Each structure stands twice: as C-alpha cells, then as structure tokens.
Amino acid sequence: MSKYSEEFKIKLVIEYLDGNLGYLRLSRKYNMPSETSIKNWVKAYKTQGMEGLKQRKGKEAYSVQFKLGTIQFMKETGASYLETANHFRLNNPSLINRWMKEFKEKGVEGLKPKSKGRPSMSKKSNINKQTKKEDKKLTREAALERENELLRLEIAYLKKLRAFRKNPNVFLEKHKQNGHSNSKKRDSD
C-alpha cells in the first residue's frame, strides 16, 4: 500500500498548479518530510495525466526488451530515473534503479523474470547439499582422517563377511552371545 492516497496526491498537485504555494510550503503545510514527493507527483501528472498519480493494482510484468530499452534510453540521454520513468509511463522510478543494478551485476540474465515461490525440496538435493557443505568445511588433514576411518570400517566389514561365509553357524552363535551380554550390561546400568 502506498504511503499517500490518490486523492491526497491529486489535491497537492492541483494546489501546486494553482500557483498559490511552492513545493516547500506545501510540504510544510501537510507535514511531509520533504518536497521531493510533491515534485515527483507534479512531473508525473504533467507527463501522464491522472494515470501518473494512480496506484497500480497489481505487479505488471515487463519484458526483457522493455527493461533493456529503458536502461539504454537512460544511458544514451543521461536522463534521471524520474525522467526515464515519466518517459516510459512508469509510476515507480526505483524500479528502473533495480533493473539497472541487476543488469550491471548479471547482464541480460538479471533482467529475466524470476520464478516465484520456494524451490521444491527433493531428498536427493538436500542430501547432496549437506555432503557438499561437509566436504567444504573439512581441511586436508581432516579429510584424510575421514578417509582412513572409512577404509577401516570397510576392512572390518569385509573380515566379518568372510568369516560368515566360511562358517555361518559359528559366526551367528558368536554374535548372539555378544548381543545378549550387551543387553545385560544395559539392563544393569
């Protein structure tokens, strides 16, 4: 929502155009922080008529070509954001400022419409992000220690697998006994 209503803007523009008060006196009369807004409204009214003072109901999507055209116009003519906005019948000069920033940072790609909403979460991408973050955080020494630990675990697994394949009954009996002794320890704690 806009800080000032359409009616208020029209009232001030008409009062200014009647010639009784200047920008500064009008801003003081209506307790406004500066006269800049009134200047902008008067310029918008002169170039666009009543349309220049109206609030837009929804966000209008501008094409990449239109954005490039406004930026190019501004560069070639040396016009200000306000002058450029009035020339292209835009209510919001800061919009051009935003386009200019995006263009300087990302080029034409920055002017393309952005997808709205949150990106969908897939389990795979979430897991990949976590592992990538962990990998980045590890130093060279820590990475080598982690690799050694993984290799030790792999060797231990392969030894148990080999023992199970040689004699499955002995292996199972041995691990059943270990399982019971562990559970007894837990119960006594």
Q: CA-CA distance, 15 to 21, in Å (whole number)?
A: 7
Selection from 106, 100, 102 nearest residue 80 by Cα = 100
Residue 189 has pLDDT above 50, yes or no: no
State mean pLDDT over 31-57.
79
> Is residue 13 over pLDDT 60?
yes
Q: How far is CA 52 from CA 18, 86, 91, 138, in A?
A: 19, 8, 6, 57
pLDDT at position 126 is: 57
Q: What is the mean pLDDT of residues 151-155?
A: 89
- The residue with greater pLDDT, 66 or 181, is 66
- The answer to whether 119 touches 108, Cβ cutoff 8 Å, is no
In this prediction the pTM is 0.43
> In the prediction, which pLDDT does 59 show?
66
- Per residue in 106-149, pLDDT (tens digit) is 888 888 877 777 877 766 655 666 666 665 666 888 888 888 98
Average pLDDT over residues 13-26: 84
The span from the CA of 179 to the CA of 187, in Å, is 13
What are the tokens at 139?
């130093």
Q: What CA–CA distance (Å, rounded) separates 84 from 77? A: 9
pLDDT of residue 28: 87
Output the pLDDT for position 81.
86
